[in-house]
Chain A
Amino acid sequence: MSRIDFDMAHLLAGLLVLISFLELYQDRLYALLNVYALHALTLAASVAWQAMVQDAPHLYVTAAIALVFKAIVIPVALHRIIVRLGIHREIEKVVGVGSAMLAGMGLVALSMVVMLRVTSGADPLAREDLAFALSVVLLGLLMMVTRRNAVGQVVGFMSLENGLVLAATGAKGMPLVVEISVAFSILIAFIVIGIFLFRIRERFDTVDVQVLDHFRGERR
């Protein structure tokens, strides 16, 4: 693999981690959606690059899904849902920006340590891609934990899923990647439709998950 192939893949994967950090401290829903669109766009570029480098044309399908579905359709749909449901635009966070960023840095360090140690035998591009992917996955999880707002959690889940796609495309020659990314897109579409169709706003008066949680088991 030539030098530029490697550097470019590295750059795009690193960019994805960086944008995950950007998502972590957004406190307005619209801004969060825009950053997520950027996240998906970077993913599309990264996957397309992998498709070219690995000479795997089927990966272009995954890249196209990322570009059209995740970077355009989903953010626009969520945008409209926010308007339609009149969700308050501020995101309530469980922990402050500072501690969330610190936790995020800790998670990235953790995934680097774990992945680079474990995959010492694998080829360098794959192992660093995997380390970045795990960082994106963990940052997505962190985002889901630190947001009370359902839309915020969904965005966290979607960036987690971007990390998985990054890992799957980085694993050279992995079969079923396209099928898996389609399956995941269906899942995400369901979640987004779920917010709207289940009319969480109407039923619960808020998309704040803590309010949804009020009944944890014991109805009296």
Chain B
Amino acid sequence: MTFDALTGVLLIPAVAAALLAALPGYRLTARLNVAATALTLVCALSLFVRRPQPGAYLIVDDLNATFIMLTTFVGFSTSVFSLSYIGHELETGRLTLPFVRFYHAMYQVLMFAMNLALVANNIGLMWVAIELATLTTVLMVGIYRTHEALEAAWKYFILGSVGIALALFGTILVYMAARPVVGEGLDAMVWTVLVRRAGEFDPALLDLAFVFLLLGYGTKVGLAPLHAWLPDAHAEGPTPISAVLSGLLLNVALYALLRFKMLLAANAGALAPGPLMVTLGLISLVFAAFMLYRRRDIKRLFAYSSIEHMGIITFAFGMGGPLANFAGLLHMTMHSLAKSAIFFAVGHVAQVKGTQRIADMGGLTETHPTLAWGLVLGVLAIAGLPPLGIFMSEFLVVSSTFARAPALAIVLVFGLLVGLAGLFLRLNSIAFGEPRGPSAKAQASYIPMFAHLTLVLAAGIYMPPALVAWFQNVAGLLG
């Protein structure tokens, strides 16, 4: 077998996971973790230059190359953040060395599972990869072994398992629909074959399959009312995992949904998946926006904000069409960057304050100016203020909706405004005012956070034409 970039994207995390599980100590392994994610990123970059032909199991096309790029980039910067974060957790004794070793190995397994889910050309393989990603994150969420962490892990476990069980039923139904047309065997689960022949499938069976897939993978996306696991899992796990969950894993589940949406779009008789996704997206947006007000835990606050934004993205993809898809892709990219930057900041804030309670925070801009202004900038970005990138993408979502369905746009804008006010209300008490609560010196690495925020800011001010053309191309693929 020749070594190509596609193999690299899968093999590097797998080998690194085995290596990290075997090596003792912390300093070396944490750096090895960074090195492995950096290498994976390089491999992912080279996929843009040269990519292998799609096979029966793996595929790289313009759509998933975008996702892989985003996943490996955020995976890399999160591993840099995790370097200082985990160091601090070791010092304070919240984690011990064996757990750190476990954590690093699991981090790489998670990267492997997400990359595998993205490059899978076989819907069965994709399902197995998403299951693996769920399992690893469950283990990581429960890593602190506190009462709350175990509860969050258990809840995530049960709800996530039911979700992927439903997704499997949907996958089987897709196979059943494909079998009379494509024939028995492997071909009837290969996505490229399916999408080419989808026009001949039985539409009723495809409809039913999509309902199950939407409920199943929708649970993993965190769409309301299937979101119950998400805030707990974000709040109780280590913060790097919250960043990866919010910034990446939700995207991966959404990517799976998009693949099946393209399948339905290729069949003239099947139901339009758009309205279902639009409805779930809007419900998630409005629901999460209101939930922002009563949050007392800083990580839960931003977990609900993730539900809100996944709602917007699902809504945009549900609307479909070149402009809305473009906006959805841009919003997804910007949200991943901004939300992980926020979690980087929040992780350090929780460490210097020794708590996640918002009531015990205050006046951070006085005590920890760099950290706090990073957080403020991140919240400004996520709330969608100009000139940051999310303003652009939200503006595109709203304007494209106004042109086609003004009534939906009103709900959308309402949800966005409610969410914005909710975030500012909380931000005000966290970042400004009199300093409150305990406070320690920050031992933070600000590079990943500010690198992400710079990218979000740059995208809001100037998007290079090449990037715009690329996103337009991918948006066209999504139909």
Contacts and interface: CB of A to CB of B under 8 A. Distances in A.
Given A179-B128, A194-B157, A212-B151, A173 B294 contact: no
Nearest to B205: A118
Interface string B171-197: 011011001100011101100000000
Interface in A106-150: 114-115, 117-122, 126, 130, 133-134, 137, 141, 144, 150
A162 to B, nearest CB: 11
Q: How large is the interface on B (under 10, 10 to 19, 20 to 34, 35 or more residues)?
A: 35 or more
Contact of A164 (B165, B185, B188): B165
Contacts of B169: 133-134, 137, 164, 167
A183 B167 CA distance: 14
Interface string B199-211: 0001011011000
Interface stretch (B4-12, B43-51, B119-127): B119-127
B147 interface: yes
B165 A215 contact: no
B148 interface: yes
B426 interface: no
B176 A218 contact: no
A67 interface: no
Nearest to B139: A190
Contacts of A213: 151
Given A119-B176, A191-B161, A212-B151, A164 B168 contact: yes
Interface in B335-373: 357
B179 A171 contact: yes
A59 interface: no
Nearest to B357: A219
Interface of A is mostly: helix
B62 to A, nearest CB: 26
Contacts of B172: 164, 167-168, 171, 174
Contacts of B162: 141, 144, 157, 160
B140 to A, nearest CB: 13
A198 B180 CA distance: 46
A42 interface: no
B423 interface: no
B131 A187 contact: yes
A177 to B, nearest CB: 8
B142 A179 contact: no
A118 B208 contact: yes
Contact of B135 (A121, A130, A168, A187): A187
A57 interface: no
A130 B212 CA distance: 14
A62 interface: no
B300 interface: yes
A194 B294 CA distance: 32
B297 A190 contact: no
B154 A200 contact: yes
Interface residues of A, number: 49
A119 B154 contact: no
Contacts of B425: none
Contacts of B155: 212
Contact of B180 (A121, A194, A203): A121
Residue in B131, B169, B189, B204 whose Cβ sees the most chain A Cβ within 10 Å: B169
A80 B263 CA distance: 47
Interface string B10-45: 000000000000000000000000000000000000
A133 B232 CA distance: 32
Nearest to A176: B124
B153 A122 contact: no
Contact of A173 (B153, B154, B179): B179
B424 to A, nearest CB: 20
B158 interface: yes
Contacts of A157: 158, 161-162, 165
A84 B147 CA distance: 20
B296 interface: yes
B296 A220 contact: yes
A173 B184 contact: yes
A153 B188 CA distance: 34
B150 interface: yes
A175 B124 contact: yes
B305 to A, nearest CB: 14
Given A168-B172, A176-B122, A220-B296, A198 B165 contact: no
Contacts of A161: 165
Given A172-B179, A175-B185, A203 B122 contact: no
A155 to B, nearest CB: 12
Given A157-B158, A175-B186, A219 B175 contact: no
Interface string B205-237: 101100000000000000000000001100000
Contacts of A83: none
A174 to B, nearest CB: 5
Contacts of A186: 135
A126 B202 CA distance: 14
B189 A203 contact: no
Interface of B: 122, 124-125, 127-128, 131-132, 135, 138, 142, 147-148, 150-151, 153-155, 157-158, 161-162, 165-166, 168-169, 172-173, 175-176, 179-180, 184-186, 188-189, 202, 204-205, 207-208, 231-232, 294-297, 300, 357
Given A164-B169, A194-B153, 17 more contacts: A118-B202, A118-B205, A118-B208, A160-B165, A171-B176, A173-B185, A174-B175, A174-B189, A175-B124, A175-B186, A180-B128, A180-B168, A187-B161, A190-B135, A198-B142, A200-B154, A215-B151
26 contacts: A118-B207, A119-B176, A119-B204, A122-B205, A137-B166, A141-B162, A157-B162, A164-B165, A164-B168, A171-B172, A173-B185, A176-B122, A176-B125, A176-B128, A180-B128, A183-B128, A186-B135, A187-B131, A190-B135, A198-B154, A212-B155, A215-B148, A215-B151, A217-B295, A217-B297, A218-B295
The 3 closest A-B pairs by CB, nearest first: A173-B184, A176-B124, A118-B204
